[in-house]
Chain A
Amino acid sequence: MRAKLKFYSIIYEPPHPFKVMYAVGVVEDEKGQVYPVRIESKYIPFLETGIEGEVIKESTIFGEVYHFIPDGKGFQLERVALITGASRGIGRATALEFAKRGYNVAINDLELTPEGESAIREITLMGRKAIFVKADISKYEEVENMVKEVIDAFGRIDVLVNNAGINIDKLVINMTLDDWRKVIDVNLTGTFNCTKAVLPYMIKQGGGSIINVSSMSAFIGTIGQANYAAAKGGIISFTKVIAREYARYNITCNAIAPGAVKTRMLLSVHPGILKERIAQIPLGRFAEPEEIAKVIVFLAETPYINGQVIHINAGEYM
């Protein structure tokens, strides 16, 4: 039946047995009858008094419920992905993959590299919008400003990919406190900073997806990567907490743990070591950044996966 939304309220604190935020409203049909309705959180950004839509009756575990579906909504949405450390490597490939799927993209890094510039050009040619947002993710103030910049440009953030990371590989005996802190600050604290800054916007808009880039290193104890592996392991624990804490706001959080990917970070390793490494990989090759990007986009678009770590390593670790 056709109906007009008279009043609505967005419930940010869902009671038991409801788990996830939703909206409720009162609608009036063409005969002047009024009904209470439930409205899925994905329509929250479009709600305003007076909008029209379809009311459908649905049998649920709570009994028969009227659902209001605003006219044509859900299809007009321009989704937005913010990817940190996206001027090259996995981040850059992820930016392009999201653009292919119709997202507008915010590319973050310490500076805009020629590869970053070319990514922006490619995305623009696809008919999507792309912006560069400069920020050192280890500094919360810069992150806050970055997130505001993305909101000013696109109005929302549907996906956050916490990808930016650095490595300073040394045996612990040679590792300085500064080496330790720098890697923890960027890889782990940076993930916290970006997540914290983005969450209020995702809550307000009715949901979102956060994908954290961890590493196989967190699982296997790679020699020389105490700081890096600790940070990436911390990211996995952090991911599980976020997945539980924000599910009620329709926000999912997952991590990926890539093995050896053809990025600047991997290729800086001594060729002899790389040869030995490749011998350990059942498929006998390193991953292309695009292969990692596809999994990230898949996670962003599969909301029933939450709090998981997806290993992408061709069987090197299982």
Chain B
Amino acid sequence: MKKDVAIVSYAHEKYGRLEMDTEEIIHKMVKEALNNTDKGIYSSEIDWIIVSCVDNQFSNQHQTGTVAWEALGNKNARAFRVEAACCSGSMAVYLGREFIRRNIATNVLVIGFEKMSNVSTEIATGILMRGSSPEERRAGITQPAAYALMIQHYMKKYGATEEDFAMVSVKNHENALRNPWAHFHRKITIEDVLNSRIIATPIRLLHCCPISDGAAAVILSGDPRKYTDAPVYITGMGMAHDAFSSFRREDPAFLLASKLAADEAYKEAGITPSQIDIAEVHDAFTPVEPMCYEALGLAERGEGYKLIREGRVMFHGDIPVNVSGGLKAKGHPVGATGIGMIVEQYLQLRGEAGERQVPNVEIAVVENHGGTGSVSLVTVLTR
């Protein structure tokens, strides 16, 4: 297990509705991340800034990299923005890590944000549909509908039920009660989920992540002990793609890109799925969460939904998943999401997750996919 790049600091804003504009959010993340290392870091020590933001129409700003650069106040630093749909945040971390490993940088500040409340729900759904394949978009297949088609494959193939999926929503809402950064702090029941209005059959409102504002940041370092005695190492990272249209994949009921990304990350980290203590996965629509368990190897193919039935992925289960509340209840400000997931595991590994701390976390994993699984990144973190 190679420990060459670690997280030495973070910043995290509460997800939900932010009054701040794009520039204020970025400034706040830069400032808080710089002030949050255990031993201190100067802005002059940051070599690169990578900003993750999915859509200009949300942010009203193309040059988010330059905004961050000005906020940092280090003329020698360089900054740019990345986009990889809903996994843009993980993509930004992936690049920052590679910059350090390839000696392009020693310290990289990675910021993710999205200001989605700038537009109405209809407009936001339309913007997010730009993450569907061209043929899906022409037919009018929205993100929930694209997931709905995959989920129907899954239900038909393996016998998962609407109750199973409702339980995932209930679990993630319950977990979010322990997370002060969560968009929702509301307990829900299986009946609430099953009676909520239909968005795209069989997906209901309470299966869907909210449209959230939010921001998160990490500082990655190739010299972590200089900044903290408790760094959290990124010991494995993988990235993979699959067909853009879900129905063109070899198996639309499986997240192949996430599995390939997980295989790559586990191989690099030298771990097996059985060693994982906790996972944050991409439950943009909760019926897909069991498919994430399978892609990560936490369950056999077609058996992911049994983990929720058996309670194993609950907060007190043997493999807690989405203790943060997940995208469903913590929120999904798309550009921030992947970084927010990584911040959660950073805190868990440092024992600083407060009320939602899972005991004895040694190995934590993040699965963050985009476009219903056409692109995916998996990250392994350890102390």
A10–B200 touching, CB < 8 Å: yes
B199–A38 touching, CB < 8 Å: no
**Size category of the binding interface on chain A:** 20 to 34
- A7-B149 contact given A15-B122, A26-B247, CB 8 Å threshold: yes
Q: Mark B105-120, 1 if CB is under 8 A from A, else 0.
A: 0000000000000001
Q: Determine the chain B residues whose CB is within 8 A of the CB of A25 once the complex forms.
A: 149
Q: Mark A33-71, 1 if CB is under 8 A from B, else 0.
A: 011111000000000010000000000001111100000
A9–B125 touching, CB < 8 Å: no
Q: Determine the chain B residues whose CB is within 8 A of the CB of A36 once the complex forms.
A: 135-136, 138-139, 141, 245, 247
B202 to A, closest residue via Cβ: A9
Q: Determine the chain B residues whose CB is within 8 A of the CB of A11 once the complex forms.
A: 140, 142, 144-145, 199-200
A14 at the interface (CB under 8 A from B): yes
A65 to B199, CA, bound (A): 22
A35 to B149, CA, bound (A): 13
B95 at the interface (CB under 8 A from A): no
A143 to B212, CA, bound (A): 39
A22 to B138, CA, bound (A): 13
A114 at the interface (CB under 8 A from B): no
A304 at the interface (CB under 8 A from B): no
Q: Determine the chain A residues whose CB is within 8 A of the CB of B139 once the complex forms.
A: 24, 36-38, 65-66
A34 to B200, CA, bound (A): 21
Interface of B is mostly: helix
A16–B122 touching, CB < 8 Å: yes
- Smallest CB–CB gap between B199 and chain A, Å? 5
A11 to B, closest residue via Cβ: B200
Q: Mark A139-166, 1 if CB is under 8 A from B, else 0.
A: 0000000000000000000000000000
Q: Determine the chain B residues whose CB is within 8 A of the CB of A18 once the complex forms.
A: 126, 140
A19 to B, closest residue via Cβ: B122
Q: Determine the chain A residues whose CB is within 8 A of the CB of B245 once the complex forms.
A: 36
Tally of contacts, chain A with chain B, CB under 8 A: 89
A7–B140 touching, CB < 8 Å: no
B129–A7 touching, CB < 8 Å: no
Q: Determine the chain B residues whose CB is within 8 A of the CB of A49 once the complex forms.
A: 152, 156
A13 at the interface (CB under 8 A from B): yes
B125–A15 touching, CB < 8 Å: yes
- A65-B126 contact given A24-B145, A26-B149, CB 8 Å threshold: no
A65 to B134, CA, bound (A): 11
A72 at the interface (CB under 8 A from B): no
Q: Determine the chain A residues whose CB is within 8 A of the CB of B136 once the complex forms.
A: 36
B149–A22 touching, CB < 8 Å: no
A12 at the interface (CB under 8 A from B): yes
Chain B, 214-242, CB within 8 A of any chain A CB: none
A34 to B123, CA, bound (A): 29
- Smallest CB–CB gap between A154 and chain B, Å? 22
Q: Determine the chain A residues whose CB is within 8 A of the CB of B140 once the complex forms.
A: 11, 14, 18, 22, 24, 38, 62, 65
A272 at the interface (CB under 8 A from B): no
A17 at the interface (CB under 8 A from B): yes
B308 at the interface (CB under 8 A from A): no
- Smallest CB–CB gap between A314 and chain B, Å? 43
- Smallest CB–CB gap between A144 and chain B, Å? 16
A24–B141 touching, CB < 8 Å: yes
- Smallest CB–CB gap between A95 and chain B, Å? 32
Q: Determine the chain A residues whose CB is within 8 A of the CB of B138 once the complex forms.
A: 36, 62-65
Q: Determine the chain B residues whose CB is within 8 A of the CB of A37 once the complex forms.
A: 139
B248 at the interface (CB under 8 A from A): yes
B63 at the interface (CB under 8 A from A): no
B152–A7 touching, CB < 8 Å: yes
Contact partner of A12 (CB less than 8 A), chosen from B123, B156, B197, is B197
B78 at the interface (CB under 8 A from A): no
Contact partner of B248 (CB less than 8 A), chosen from A6, A34, A65, A66, is A34
B200–A9 touching, CB < 8 Å: yes
Of A18, A35, A36, A63, most B-chain CB atoms within 10 Å: A36
- Smallest CB–CB gap between A6 and chain B, Å? 8
B205 to A, closest residue via Cβ: A13
B129–A12 touching, CB < 8 Å: no
B347 at the interface (CB under 8 A from A): no
A12 to B200, CA, bound (A): 6
B41 at the interface (CB under 8 A from A): no
B201 at the interface (CB under 8 A from A): yes
B199–A12 touching, CB < 8 Å: yes
Q: Determine the chain A residues whose CB is within 8 A of the CB of B149 once the complex forms.
A: 7-9, 24-26
Of B121, B137, B139, most A-chain CB atoms within 10 Å: B139
B301 at the interface (CB under 8 A from A): no
A26 to B148, CA, bound (A): 11
- Smallest CB–CB gap between B147 and chain A, Å? 9
B198 at the interface (CB under 8 A from A): yes
Chain B, 240-280, CB within 8 A of any chain A CB: 245, 247-248
B27 at the interface (CB under 8 A from A): no
A12–B247 touching, CB < 8 Å: no
Contact partner of B201 (CB less than 8 A), chosen from A10, A14, A22, A63, is A10
Q: Determine the chain A residues whose CB is within 8 A of the CB of B201 once the complex forms.
A: 8-10, 12
14 pairs from A and B in contact (CB 8 Å cutoff): A8-B149, A9-B144, A9-B145, A9-B149, A10-B201, A13-B121, A13-B142, A13-B144, A15-B126, A16-B120, A16-B125, A25-B149, A49-B152, A64-B138
The 5 lowest CB-CB distance pairs between A and B, nearest first, are: A15-B125, A16-B126, A9-B148, A36-B139, A15-B126
Q: Taking beta carbons and an 8 Å cutoff, which residues of A are in contact with B?
A: 6-18, 22, 24-26, 34-38, 49, 62-66
Q: Taking beta carbons and an 8 Å cutoff, which residues of B are in contact with A?
A: 120-123, 125-126, 128-129, 135-142, 144-145, 148-149, 152-153, 156, 197-203, 245, 247-248
